[in-house]
Amino acid sequence: MKMIAWLFVAIFGVLVCGGYGIEDHMREEDIEYLKKNFDLTPRYGSLSRSKRDLTEYEEVDENLPPLDVVTVEFKPYVYIVDYEQQKFKGYMVDLLFLISKRLRMKPRLYLSPDGRWGSEQTSKDGAKYWNGMIGEVIKKEHQLNATNDPAEAGKYGADVAAAALTITKKREEVVDFAKPFAHLGLTVMLKKPTHEDTDWPYDFNFVKPLAAEVWACVFASVIVVWLFMWMMNKFNPYEYGERYERGLSDADEASMFNVTGSFWFAFTLLNWQGYDRSPRSLANKLMGCFWMVFVTLFLVIYTGSYINNLFWASTVHGRPPTGHPVRSLADLVMHKDGYTYGTMRGGSTEKYLMEVAAGEEFDVLRRFLKSEEGQKGMVKSTAEGIDKARHERYGFIMETMSANYHKNIRPCDLMSVDHFGLRSYGMALPNNSPHLEKFHSLVLEMTENGDIDALEQRWFVEKGECWNVTQAERSQLQASTLTLNEPKRVNMQMFWSLLVILVVGLFLSGLTFVAELLYYKYKGRYDAKERPRTSLANEEA
């Protein structure tokens, strides 16, 4: 019983801690600090796979002013779990926890008043100003003594803007950015194809196993054998047709290998059905034997190749990894299969596509986005773009990290194609901020020791709800990239040996026909069994 109790405790511990060994990385007081300030469920065991203690830094210094942090709600970077008390969760919240521990400063998070990231605007009187998080950072007044009152968060602007904030040249002119914590690109988010939408690139049919020249040789062989056997029936003195002319066979026997009968013999053998009559002459019988050998080998080759092709076409080998008609940005900008596209209006992605990106496909993209139809594809938020991609023939252009998050949450019906436009995310600070150099060094340190990679793994991969779907797609991708067993058509290089058999048969049958003609001419016609019945009756009379 004691053993069973210990076993139960061990299993319960694994289930509660998720198997990450939280106690190996965090002290109890650190977890309490996390709960107190962020209302987070402890999840920091996966921040580093080494046994390094993440809590080697000093506790928060209450004498230091709080660190006011402006952000926007954008899953999984930041999202609110308690609107009344403004408690947050997310990738950026976890990252800020690690930074604040090192700075010994307590962070105070608040949402951007207008919910924007930040772009330059023009007022009615013509003055230039910045909205969103960038505007909050710009208005920070360092000379004012902030208090520790949580109600004052953001009252004097923000010390840091922490979100999925793209570093751009225009923004760097008005604020300073810490070293990037993420390097990413752009991708196109699409709805996964259904069975009705799936493109079927492997056009399998019954003629697929053989090359065109092989089929031509097979049909030519049928014609040659057909004509050869008909000629034997007509001119060979030991065949039914010639014997009928001499009165030695009846009409039924003579018709067995006439024009239609000879064709039926060649065709039925080719279908592995067989013919219920056989030729009489040795030349025709020899030709029939070689034709049967040819047909048997041909059908074995065709059947094996057919089964191989059918297996390939019915599994993942014959399908592309996505099966989607749009497989690249080039497909999208050409509106393949009726698809349209767009991105979020006023964001850095739109600015990159409209002003920075170079290439022929981007020239086409810009012309379309400037048109009236293209403006209809622009959306106000990521949520609107995702919803549009889910319910319309629409490609939403967005950052890769956010795309990875959305395609890994239920209902698991989204996918991304292509990857372009390298960009970086960073935290913005006011110009000449005393914290800038500290943020530089801390971000570099956390990048080097793997903490940031672990956070990305935790929030963008391990929290995914589509692990079983993505695992199946990964297996499909691996299988679809195998080319060693991809079936090839039977070509003349593989088929020539069968033609040799048939040519040898024709040659030997031809020699036998000549031999039968000579034998009949000099000896056979004097045999009573080969003489016409009328002449025999006259001799007896």
pLDDT for 73-102, tens place per residue? 988 899 888 877 778 999 999 999 899 888
Give the SS3 label for residue 495.
helix
So what's the pLDDT on residue 41?
A: 34
Give the SS3 label for residue 386.
helix
Q: What is the pLDDT confidence band of residue 34, given thresholds at 50, 70 and 90?
A: very low
So what's the pLDDT on residue 408?
A: 82
Inter-residue long-range contacts of 366-371, CB under 8 Å, 24+ positions, other chains counted: 368/333, 368/341, 369/342
Identity of residue 481: T
Query: Residue 214's beta-bridge partner residues?
Result: none
User: Is there a contact between 403 and 187 (Cβ–Cβ < 8 Å)?
Assistant: yes
Question: What is the CATH architecture assignment of 57-181+426-449?
Answer: 3-Layer(aba) Sandwich (3.40)
Does the structure show a pLDDT above 80 at 389?
yes
Q: Taking the model in full, what pTM does it have?
A: 0.53
User: Is there a contact between 252 and 246 (Cβ–Cβ < 8 Å)?
Assistant: no
Q: Lowest-pLDDT range, 106-120, 157-171, 471-485?
A: 471-485
Q: pLDDT tens-digit profile of 201-241?
A: 455 577 888 888 999 999 999 999 999 988 888 888 888 87
Q: What is the pLDDT confidence band of residue 279, given thresholds at 50, 70 and 90?
A: confident
Q: What is the mean pLDDT of residues 271-276?
A: 72
Q: Measured between alpha carbons, how far is 266 from 227 in angstroms, rounded to an integer? A: 10
User: Is there a contact between 137 and 430 (Cβ–Cβ < 8 Å)?
Assistant: yes
Burial of residue 373 (number of CB atoms within 10 Å: 0-12, 13-18, 19+): exposed
So what's the pLDDT on residue 38?
A: 42
Residue span(s) of the chain under CATH 3.40.190.10 come to 57-181+426-449, 190-199+319-425+455-480
Q: Are strands 160-161 and 414-425 parallel, antiparallel or unpaired?
A: unpaired
Q: pLDDT tens-digit profile of 173-183?
A: 999 999 999 98
Q: Measured between alpha carbons, how far is 494 from 340 in angstroms, rounded to an integer? A: 48
**Residue 494: Cβ within 10 Å count:** 15
Identity of residue 147: T
Topology of domain 190-199+319-425+455-480, CATH: D-Maltodextrin-Binding Protein; domain 2 (3.40.190)
Element spanning 82, H or E: strand 79-82
Query: Residue 78's beta-bridge partner residues?
Result: 74
Q: pLDDT tens-digit profile of 313-334?
A: 666 544 444 457 788 888 888 8
So what's the pLDDT on residue 22?
A: 33
- Higher-confidence position of 345 and 524: 345
Q: Measured between alpha carbons, how far is 246 from 2 in angstroms, rounded to an integer? A: 107
User: Is there a contact between 319 and 494 (Cβ–Cβ < 8 Å)?
Assistant: no
**Is the bond leading into 411 cis (omega within 30 degrees of zero)?**
yes
Q: Are strands 79-82 and 340-342 parallel, antiparallel or unpaired?
A: unpaired
Across the chain, mean pLDDT equals: 77
Q: What is the mean pLDDT of residues 493-516?
A: 91
So what's the pLDDT on residue 429?
A: 94
So what's the pLDDT on residue 14?
A: 39
The secondary structure of 298-356 as a DSSP string is: HHHHHHHHHHHHHHHHHSGGGS-SS--S--SHHHHHTTGGG-EEE-BTTSHHHHIIIII
So what's the pLDDT on residue 16?
A: 39
So what's the pLDDT on residue 202?
A: 52
Would you say how long the chain is, in residues? 541
Q: pLDDT tens-digit profile of 111-162?
A: 999 988 898 999 888 889 999 999 999 988 544 444 445 555 556 789 999 9
User: Is there a contact between 386 and 450 (Cβ–Cβ < 8 Å)?
Assistant: no
Selection from 273-282, 360-369, 526-535 with the highest mean pLDDT: 360-369
Q: What is the mean pLDDT of residues 397-404?
A: 89
Q: Are strands 87-89 and 107-111 parallel, antiparallel or unpaired?
A: unpaired
Q: Measured between alpha carbons, how far is 195 from 189 in angstroms, rounded to an integer? A: 19
**Is the bond leading into 76 cis (omega within 30 degrees of zero)?**
yes
Q: What is the mean pLDDT of residues 242-248?
A: 78
